Amino acid sequence: IECSVVAGDILGANMDIHAGGSDLKFPHHDNELAQSEAYYGHHQWVNYFFHAGHLHIKGLKMSKSLKNFITIRQALQEHSARQIRLMFLMQPWDRPMNFSDQTVGAAKSKEAQFKNFFGTVKALIRSKWLDEEVGWRSREEDRALYDQIADCQSKCHHGFCDNFNTPQVVDALSSLVTYCNNYLSRPPPAAPAVYLVQKAAVYITQILKVVGVAEGADDIGFPVSSAGSEAEVEGPLDALTEFRDAVRSIARKKGPVEEILGACDAVADKVQASAPAAARLSDQVAKVLADFAGAIRAAAAGGHGAVLTACDHVRDDALTAIGVRLEDATREGQSSTWKLDDPETLMKEVAARRAEAEERAKQAKAKAAAKLQQEVDKLTAGSADPFETLKPDLQLEGGALSQADVEAWVGMQPPPKAKGKPTPEWLEASRAATEKQAPFLKKLADSSEGKLTEKAISKRLDSVLKKKEALDKQCEEYASKGGAAYLAKKKEELAAMLG
């Protein structure tokens, strides 16, 4: 009754929208309707009911009794508000919604896709595209992109009209981003229709603003929590990117050091006057550029590898610390792309990449060590007398086989059988071998005082013979590789690797 009283007191005899969880449909909201419509004397207290699906935590309905209760404040400690909003938008609002590592991970991937696309478009707009021919220079591809934009707009409109089908809207926006990325990744001489790509980015931003994922006054993209705008840092960042691309290209081609030092001299004037004094982020970029130029000049004496290391450092450490994402060009002749981003996000990404690289290196080292250990074990076995290794196999219940027994058994083996039908010669040799083996096996069986049969002895001798052949090969390999000296060298390599 209190819900009916409070709602009626504030909103009166009629309200447009009444919302609640799906478990409140009956009897809670039915009772409110019965109470309020009886009190006001009409049959339309609420025009529209919205019943949202329950929130599930890792597949189970969130409940204090299940001890899987999580607050918004707790969720925001691990994930951004944008990521949580995207996670809910990617699930139907009127069905059970799942909060899990998988759903949050999907939302983070979607956020990264949108963010990278916006940065790419902004970089494209910053380029000197107006200096070239403007229009649909690739008519078929440009027309197809235009149709994709129109199709996305249609899907978003119908999605909103279809019971606020936000998963369809997000999928449509994501598909348009993928199409634009493929459109932009075409190799030269294909040139993009920049204003078409800009049109797509502006529309995607508008829809994301409608659903509360994007905010701010920017026409394209998410607001950046760095202390400066793109216009303020465009000059110094373009200078840094151009300088880094130049020295990196020289180093990768193992060009002369004089060219690297020449690039350092050429950028000196830009270091002195690259940003207005009032722009704090611009000052930071200018300092990074000055430090980087000095680092390259010092690294040039250490060779091309040192120059490339300095290029990686400015990208992964110096620039990320001030909120600049620098993406290396994927094709020779292209320029690297810079984008403004949240410094904390960038540093987390760099830390994750480094941790992943360290883990890969660790696994590769463990794999190499295991392979080397196998070689050492094989060489160690090859360094020993085969019969010393076979001693356990020569022990029988009624005694032991001797080296002479094994060697005699070797001499009683028939020749290897060729493929196809046995030849008369092989059959004769096999019969002769069997005739030799019979008295030999009987003698060994008699010496065991009846504890072993001739069949058991024959089986054991065949097994020993097979192992001996493998050991003989190891011994040959051991000798061919250098014997004890080679084994000692491999043991030292293994110890260094494990140490």
The burial of 129, by beta-carbon neighbours within 10 Å (0-12 exposed, 13-18 middle, 19 or more buried), is given as middle
pTM for the complete prediction?
0.71
Mean pLDDT, consecutive 10-residue segments, the chain of 499 residues?
A: 94 95 93 95 94 89 82 91 96 94 95 95 86 78 96 98 97 98 87 93 98 92 73 89 95 94 85 52 89 94 95 96 91 85 90 94 94 93 91 84 91 85 88 91 85 89 92 92 94 91
Strands 337-340 and 324-327: antiparallel
Other C-beta atoms closer than 10 Å to the C-beta of 237 total: 26
pLDDT at res. 275: 43
Give the rounded distance of the alpha carbon of 312 from its chain centre: 20
Q: What is the CA radius of gyration of the chain?
A: 38
With the C-alpha atoms ordered 494, 497, 498, 499, is the resulting torsion angle positive or negative?
Answer: positive
The pLDDT value recorded for residue 274 is: 47
Q: Mind giving me the DSSP string for 75-109?
A: HHHHS-HHHHHHHHHTS-TTS-EEESHHHHHHHHH
Q: With the C-alpha atoms ordered 240, 245, 246, 248, is the resulting torsion angle positive or negative?
A: positive
- Residue 150 to residue 176: CA distance in whole angstroms: 10
Report CA 273 to chain centroid distance, whole Å: 40
d(CA 460, CA 445): 12
Report the pLDDT value the prediction gives residue 302, as an integer from 0 to 100: 93
Angstrom distance (rounded) from CA 220 to CA 205: 6
Which pLDDT does position 228 carry in this prediction?
Answer: 62
Q: In sequence order, which residues have a C-beta less than 8 Å from that of residue 48 and are 6 or more positions away?
A: 16, 17, 18
Q: What is the pLDDT of residue 333?
A: 73
